[in-house]
Amino acid sequence: MNKQHIPVLCDEVLDFLKPQPDGVYVDGTVGLGGHSYAILKASAPNGHVIGIDLDPDALAIAKENLNAFKDRCCLINGNFAEIPVLLKEHSIYAVDGLLLDLGVSSLQLDTPHRGFSFNHTGPLDMRMDTGHPLDTDQEIALTAMQVVNDCSMDTLVDIFKRYGEERFARRIAARILKARQQTPITTTTHFAEIVKSAVPQKTSKIHPATRVFQALRIHVNRELENLEVGLDAAISLLKPGGRLCVIAFHSLEDRIVKRRFQMCARACICPPKIPVCICEHEPSLQILTKRPIVPDTSAVQHNPRARSAKLRVARKL
């Protein structure tokens, strides 16, 4: 296993997933294979992992990292929102456990030409799914560069507010429109400078472009839409007793997970004003984490990117 890669909340995920020697598990965000490695090790000798990722570069590294388990591991380039279809192609219709470790990987952040980080100069790309050709009409093929240079002022404001909760969204969008009249905005660092110049100095401890980069990344990769669909898909695939573990890294993701779990765990989803239940809703999940599990101080020291991680787990009824 690549030594530089430390999977977030890995022991906690194993504690909840309880991999069995004949179980079938889906890692919907296999990344470099850190969690999958641990699940495969814990489910020896016959446990299987299906690892899915949008990013072909990540899958190539995961393949190397998981080589020792190649007979029990199948890697698929795809979107976890389409898990049922992807698994059907392998004649799998139900699984014992499922993990989603959301967001961007360290590989993506640390590779300048992927354009995810304002700490490295690179093309303003931010696509996780680089397998999609750019000259198609598919929305997912849009790069951050296209969004920043082509979208209207109102669209940019909406993206920055909705996905970045950025309070200076309008000022930033106005500065972008002005800058792109002079010359196209093509690199991460040029874009970060434009954002920085638009916000008042020293209003926050984090880099002034942090929220806008997050917003663009979420928009380009349709991360929240995929999560909404992916959660339902994951729940539908679990065998009774099977567990779904989701690690979120910001409040927008965590809120979606929390609400979906709560909705699926309720016996009644009638509007509060209705005196007698008419919904006939049956709970499909039991929530196993009343509060989200977060990494302890030493885990954050070893892996600073884990600091905002929140793990929620539910069991299929």
Residues in Cβ contact with 102 at an 8 Å cutoff, skipping those fewer than 6 apart: 29, 223, 227, 246, 247, 248, 249, 253
Candidate ranges 27-35, 205-213, 255-263, 266-274; the one touching ligand SAM (CB under 6 A): 27-35
40/27 Cα distance (integer angstroms) = 11
Annotate each residue in 226-265 with x if it binds ligand SAM (CB under 6 A) or - if it does not, as one string. Answer: x---------------------------------------
Instruction: Dig out the tokens for 60 from the structure.
Output: 């190539």
> Is 31 an interacting residue with respect to ligand SAM (CB under 6 A)?
yes
Candidate ranges 53-61, 180-188, 279-287, 290-298; the one touching ligand SAM (CB under 6 A): 53-61
For the bound state, the minimum distance from the C-beta of residue 16 to ligand SAM, rounded and expressed in Å, comes to 15
186/184 Cα distance (integer angstroms) = 6
* Total residues interacting with ligand SAM, rule: CB under 6 A: 22
Candidate ranges 87-95, 98-106, 119-127, 160-168; the one touching ligand SAM (CB under 6 A): 98-106
Closer residue to ligand SAM, CB minimum distance, 30 or 194: 30
Closer residue to ligand SAM, CB minimum distance, 32 or 195: 32
List C-alpha distances in Å: 76 to 86, 214, 260, 302. Answer: 8, 26, 26, 30
Are 11 and 17 spatial neighbours (Cβ–Cβ below 8 Å)? no
> Which residue in 73, 93, 106, 95 sits closest to 17, CA to CA?
95
Among the listed residues 33, 47, 164, 208, the single contact to ligand SAM using CB under 6 A: 33
> Is 29 an interacting residue with respect to ligand SAM (CB under 6 A)?
yes
Residue type for position 239: K
DSSP β-ladder status, 310-316 and 238-248:
antiparallel
Angle at the Cα of 53 (from 81 to 47), degrees rounded to 5?
Answer: 95
Closer residue to ligand SAM, CB minimum distance, 86 or 148: 86
> Is 32 an interacting residue with respect to ligand SAM (CB under 6 A)?
yes
- Interface ranges with ligand SAM (CB under 6 A): 5, 7, 28-29, 31-35, 52-55, 58, 79-81, 101, 103, 105, 128, 226
